[in-house]
Amino acid sequence: MLIYLRVLKESFNFAISALVNNKLRTFLSLLGVTIGIFSIIAVLAAVDSLKNEIEGSISSLDNSTIFLGRFSFGPTDVPRWKREQFPNASFEEYKYLKDAVPNIKAASYTLNVGRETVKYEDKTVSNVDVAACTEGYYDIESLQLAHGRFFNESESNSGTPVVVLGDEIAASLFDNASYALGKKIRLYGRKFVVIGVLEKEGSSLFGGSKDTSIFIPSNVVRRIYGDNNKSLIPFIVIKPGKGIDNDEFVSQLRQRLRVKRGIKTGEVDTFFVNQLQGFSDVIDEITGTLNLVGLFISFFSLLVGGFGIANIMFVSVKERTNLIGIQKSLGAKNKFILFQFLFEAVILALIGGIIGLVFVYIVSIIASNVAGDFEFVLSTANIAIGTSVSAAIGLISGILPAIAASRLDPVEAIRTGM
């Protein structure tokens, strides 16, 4: 064991010596490894950060959450002309499914509406996300209230003009968020009573932060726009209870809605059952593809870096031919020489890899500061990958020069080096 530690120490010293004595040559040789590791880890970190951001945007929703409507969240075999004939999910269907399907933990009838302007006295906030839903959405999204309450079933069914404000909206309209309760704001040309304010959530790269949203009963919007308005996109959102068979639940849900709509056996569904689990799978597939493309491009940088390491090692063997001959004449075995040069190649590659990782770290800090709410994450796993790949490149690139060095004849080596 001690001999290998000595070999490692000597190899490290030789590697540092190569860096110091041949700065330009070593710099050019390690540049490929540095760029390659930088490219690979930057791509992996960027994709991981993007994935974390997307998943964070939907983290408040359980993967088992189901969206029933006339639109599909993913690819579908149903032709477009047929999809356009599908009816919208109705409030009556929401009420029916809520009562007819067992094991529903929470359900909500939601309407995707455009952004609006809200006013309180002389203060105005534009581009406000309006979430029109029923009372069950509070449990589906696991909303957290800082002040007040969410609207109840009675207010939801009757379409009472009440509103729950996101933190940023409340701060913009009122000096203190707690003062908002009981105040009346104007929306859709009507007055809405503020009954709650959500806790601050923080912004998201893809939007969707509840800080800039307000929540109102969906029946208020139905009363204003009507049920046949094409600008509204209704969904029935359902969260199943825990511990139930998800496939069986979806099958039962689909069958109940088919019965409600009078769809005959053999006819296709006139609605789509969208699950967040499927959406998560699509995200994984996209990020996986991005990773593969990035790794394929980065491979060429690593290939150049590998050739650079191999080149510097062959030169190192040439320069130390005399020393190798002396070592072997004093009893050094072939594997000692082999490991000496292999360790040196790995150490040189690791130095290039560490430089690449440092660059990624610096870029991650800059990117996070520039992007604001987007956090560019350099994970421990990616650091481990970068280090492992660097070591592998050094090992592969140094094997041939190391073998060549270990097979040198000591007499010829000494004569050649003189």
Question: Containing H/E element for 234?
Answer: strand 233-240
Q: List, in sequence order, the alpha helices (H) in 151-242.
A: 153-158, 167-173, 218-225
**Are 359 and 34 contacting, i.e. CB atoms less than 8 angstroms apart?**
yes
Place of tokens 């006295």: 121
- Of 418, 416, 414, the C-alpha closest to 324 is 414
Query: What per-residue confidence (pLDDT) applies to 3?
Result: 66
Q: What is the mean pLDDT of residues 26-55?
A: 75
**Best mean pLDDT range from 107-116, 283-292, 357-366, 396-405:** 107-116
pLDDT at residue number 299: 75
Task: Give the burial string for 224-244 (b: 16+ CB within 10 Å, else e).
Answer: ebeeeeeebebbbbbbbeeee
Q: Is residue 264 pLDDT above 60, yes or no?
A: yes
Closest CA to 131 of 196, 59, 203, 221: 221
**This prediction's pTM:** 0.60
Give residue 14's pLDDT: 66
Mean pLDDT of 52-70: 69
Residues sharing a CB contact under 8 Å with residue 380, sequence separation 6 or more, in sequence order:
none
- Per DSSP bridges, beta strands 213-217 and 233-240 are unpaired
| More confident of the two residues 342 and 94 | 94
pLDDT over 60 (residue 60) = no
pLDDT at 379: 77
Q: Which of 184-188, 201-205, 235-239, 325-329 has the lowest mean pLDDT?
A: 201-205
Q: For 11-168, list the strands marked E by DSSP.
A: 66-69, 104-112, 116-120, 123-133, 145-148, 162-165
Give the pLDDT score at 380: 82
> What mean pLDDT is predicted for residues 159-175?
90
The residues pairing with 164 across neighbouring beta strands, listed in sequence order, are 196, 215
Q: Whole-number mean pLDDT of the chain?
A: 81
Distance CA 172, CA 379 (A): 37
Residue 207 confidence (pLDDT): 47
- 193-219, pLDDT tens digit by residue? 999 999 887 655 444 578 888 999 999
CA 156 to CA 411: how far, in whole Å? Answer: 95
Single-letter code of the amino acid located at 146? A
Note whether 239 and 138 are within 8 A (CB): no
Take residue 337 and report the two structure tokens written for it: 């020489």
Task: State the residue for tokens 């690819």.
Answer: 75
pLDDT at residue 356, rounded to an integer? 86
Q: What is the number of alpha carbons within 13 Å of residue 305 lying toward its C-beta?
A: 33
Mean pLDDT of 275-284: 64
Most confident range, picked from 15-19, 44-48, 294-298: 44-48
Q: How far apart are CA 147 and CA 160, in angstroms?
A: 19
pLDDT at 396: 87
Q: Of 305, 222, 228, which is closest to residue 26 (Cα–Cα)?
A: 305
Band of pLDDT at residue 255, cut at 50, 70 and 90: very high
What average pLDDT score do residues 176-187 get? 86
Helix (H, G, I), strand (E, B) or coil at 12: helix
The string of pLDDT tens digits covering residues 109-151 is 999 888 899 998 888 988 888 999 999 999 888 788 989 999 9
The larger pLDDT score, comparing residue 384 to residue 228, is at: 384
Mode of pairing for the β-strands spanning 162-165 and 190-198: parallel
Mean per-residue pLDDT, 22-49: 76
pLDDT of 373: 57
Exposure b/e, 320-352, CB count within 10 A at least 16 = b: bbeebbebbeeebeeebbbbbbbbbbbbbbbbb
Tokens of 9: 């120490």
Residue 256, number of CB atoms within 10 A of its CB? 15
> Cβ of 55: how many Cβ atoms within 10 Å?
13
Chain centroid to CA 44 = 10
Q: What's the confidence (pLDDT) of residue 278?
A: 54
CB atoms within 10 A of CB 16: 14
Percent of residues in the chain assigned helix, strand, coil, to nearest 5? 60, 15, 25
Half-sphere exposure for 325 (CA within 13 Å, toward CB): 15
